[in-house]
Structure 1
Amino acid sequence: MEVTLLGTGDTTGTPTVGCDCDTCERARDPDAELREQLRERGVDPTDGVERSRFSVHLRNEETGEVLLIDASPDFRTQFRREDVALPDAAVITHVHFDHLDGLGNAYRLLDHLPVHAADETDAQTGESVAETVRDQYDYLDTVSVHPKSPYEPFSAAGFEVTLVPVEHPPLVCYGLRVEEPATGAVLSISGDTCYEVPDRSREVLTGADLALVEGIVHPGACEFHPEGGAHHDDEGVPRTFGTKHMTLPGARDFADDVAADDYRIMHTAHYVPPERAFADDIAVDGERFSL
C-alpha cells in the first residue's frame, strides 16, 4: 500500500489565505532548519509548506487501483502537485465541505467514481452521509453512491475498508481501517473526532502499520474555545479541543492507545505556534509511506 498525504490541514489550511501570523509566514518561507527537516521527510520545500484541506491517496500496489479518502476542495492542486493517479473509488467520512466539496472534480476527469459512505441517519441533517452525497452530487452521472454500514467491512479499489463511528458533534463522522488483503498492510484514520472515541471503534483502529490521527491545535488554545477543553490526562492537559477535535497531545495519546507502528497527526490548524507547528509527527502535504 502506497499512502500519499494530499491534504493535511484543517478547514482553512496552512498557510491560511490573508493571514500573516508567524506560523503562516514560516510556512510560506521556511527557514533553513525547517527546509532540511522537510527534505528528510521526502518533501520538497521549494514552494514552502502546504497543509491543504484533508485528503489521503491510497494506491493498491497489488492491483494498481487507487482509493481516495475524502475529496478535498483542493483536489486539482493536490493531484497536479503530487503527480498521482486519479481515483478508482472514494470514501467520504463526513459532510463538512473541506472533506466533500472536491467531488465535483469527477466531472470530465473520471468515467466513473464509486463513492462509499455511511448509511446511518444523522439526527442533525435527517439523512446519512451517503444520502447527503447523493443529494448534493446527483447532477454528476459519473458519481455513484454506495451506502455502507459501520463495522461491516467492504471492498473498494481492492482494499478491505471498515467505517467506524467517532465523535464529531453535531454531525456524524467516521474513522476507517483500510487493509490491503494481499500484503496485510493496514492504515487507520481517526476521522475528525474528539478523544472520546467509542471502544468498539478503537478496537477496529488498533494495530495499524500507520495511523493518521486528527489533532487540530495545541492544548493552550483550549482557553480561547467557548467550550474550553475536555478529556484531560493525568497531568490536567486537555486531549479534546472544545467538543469535536483532538489537541496535539490528545492525538499522540490516541496513536499510543491504538498501538500504531507509526503515526502522523493530520487536520492541524495554523493556530499552533510556529516553533511547535512543524514537529516531525505533524504531517505536511506530500509525505509518502509504503506499508
Structure 2
Amino acid sequence: MQVTLLGTGDTTGTPTPDCDCDTCREARAPGDATRRRMRERGIDATEGVERSRFSVHVRNERTGEALLIDASPDFRHQFLTHEVGLPDEALITHVHFDHLDGLGNAYRLFDDLPVHAANEVDPLTDESVADTIRSKYDYLDRVTVFDHAPFEPFETCGFEVTLVPVEHPPMLCYGVAVEDPETGAKLSLTGDTNYAIPDESRDALADADLLLADGLVPAHLCDHHPLGGDHHDGDGVPRTFGTKHMTREGALDLGDELDAVETRLVHVSHFYPADEAFAEPLAVDGERYEL
C-alpha cells in the first residue's frame, strides 16, 4: 500500500491567499531549518512548502489500482505536482467543499469514476453524503455513486474499506479504515472531527500502520476561539478546538490511544506559529508512505 498525501491543509490551505503572517511567509520562502526538515522527508522545498486542501492517494501496488480519499478543490494542481496517476475510484468523507468540490474535475478526465460515500441521512441536510454527491454532480455522467452503511466493510481497488462515524458538528462526517487483506497493511484517517470519536469508531480505526489525524491548531490557540476548547486531558489541555476539530495535542493523544504505529497530523492550518508549523509530526503535501 503506497500512501501519498496530496493535500494536508485546512479549508484555506498554507500559504493562505493574501496572508502575510509569519507562517505563510515561511511557507512561501522557507528558511534553512524548514528546508532541512523537508529534505529529511524527501521533499524539495526550493519553491516553498505547501499544504493544499485535503486529499489522500492510496495505491494498491498488488493490483495497480488507486483510491482517492476526498476530492480537493486543488485536484488539478495536486495531480500535476505529485508523481501519482489518476485514481480508479474515489471516496468522500463529508460534503464540505474542501473535501468534495474537486469531483468537478471528473469531466473529460475519466470515462467513469466510481465514488463511494455513506448512505446515512444527515438531519441537517435531509440527504446522505452519497445523495448530496448525486444531486450536486448530476450533470456529470462520468461520476457513479455507490452507497455504503457505516461500519460495513466494502471492497474497492483491492482494499477492504470501512466508513466510521466521527464528530464534526453540525454535519455528519466519517473517518476511514483502509486495509489490504493480502498484506495486512492498514491506513486509518480520522476525517474532520473533534476528539469525541465514538468507541465503536475508535475500535475500527485502531492498530493502523499509519494514522492521519485532524490536528488543526495547537491547543494554546483555544484561548482565541469564541467557544474555547473541549475534551481536556488530565492537565487541562484541550483536545478539541471549539467543536469541530482536534488540537495537535488531541490528535497525538488519539494516536497513542489507537496504538497507531505512526501518526501524522493533517488538515493543518496556517495558525500554527512559524517555528512549529513545519516541525514533526505535522504533515506537508507530497509525503509518501509504504505500508
TM-score bracket relative to the smaller structure:
over 0.9
Partner of 1:278: 278
Partner of 1:67: 67
Deviation digits for residues 56-80 of structure 1, max 9, x if unmatched?
0000010000000000000000001
Matches within 5 A, 1:60-139: 60-139=60-139
* Residue type at the aligned position of 1:234: G
Deviation of the 1:41 alpha carbon: 0.4
2: CA distance, partners of 1:241 / 1:33: 28
Deviation digits for residues 213-245 of structure 1, max 9, x if unmatched?
001001121122121100001111100000010
Deviation of the 1:52 alpha carbon: 0.2
Deviation digits for residues 38-91 of structure 1, max 9, x if unmatched?
011011101111000000000001000000000000000000100210010000
Deviation digits for residues 73-126 of structure 1, max 9, x if unmatched?
000000010021001000000000000000011110011100000000001111
* Residue type at the aligned position of 1:240: T
Matches within 5 A, 1:207-218: 207-218=207-218
Q: Is the Cα–Cα contact under 8 Å of residues 168 and 194 in structure 2 kept in the other structure?
A: yes
Q: Is the Cα–Cα contact under 8 Å of residues 194 and 243 in structure 1 kept in the other structure?
A: yes
Q: Is the Cα–Cα contact under 8 Å of residues 122 and 172 in structure 1 kept in the other structure?
A: yes
1: CA distance, partners of 2:118 / 2:95: 11
1: CA distance, partners of 2:176 / 2:84: 22
Secondary structure of 2:249's aligned partner? helix
2: CA distance, partners of 1:154 / 1:120: 15
1: CA distance, partners of 2:183 / 2:28: 39
Q: Is the Cα–Cα contact under 8 Å of residues 37 and 279 in structure 2 kept in the other structure?
A: no
Deviation of the 1:192 alpha carbon: 0.2
Aligned pair count reads 291
* Residue type at the aligned position of 2:84: V
Partner of 1:227: 227
* Residue type at the aligned position of 2:204: V
Deviation of the 1:155 alpha carbon: 0.8
Deviation of the 1:204 alpha carbon: 0.4
Structure 2 spans left out of the alignment, 5+ residues: none
Partner of 2:170: 170
Deviation of the 1:269 alpha carbon: 0.3
Secondary structure of 1:90's aligned partner? strand
Percent of aligned pairs with the same residue? Answer: 64
2: CA distance, partners of 1:153 / 1:128: 18
* Residue type at the aligned position of 1:126: D
Secondary structure of 1:277's aligned partner? coil
Partner of 1:196: 196
1: CA distance, partners of 2:253 / 2:47: 32
Deviation of the 1:193 alpha carbon: 0.2
Matches within 5 A, 1:242-257: 242-257=242-257
2: CA distance, partners of 1:31 / 1:42: 17
* Residue type at the aligned position of 2:284: V
Q: Is the Cα–Cα contact under 8 Å of residues 62 and 182 in structure 1 kept in the other structure?
A: no
The answer on 1:185 being equivalent to 2:185 is yes
Structure 1 spans left out of the alignment, 5+ residues: none
* Residue type at the aligned position of 1:190: T
* Residue type at the aligned position of 2:266: M
Q: TM-score, structure 1 length as denominator?
A: 0.99
Partner of 2:258: 258
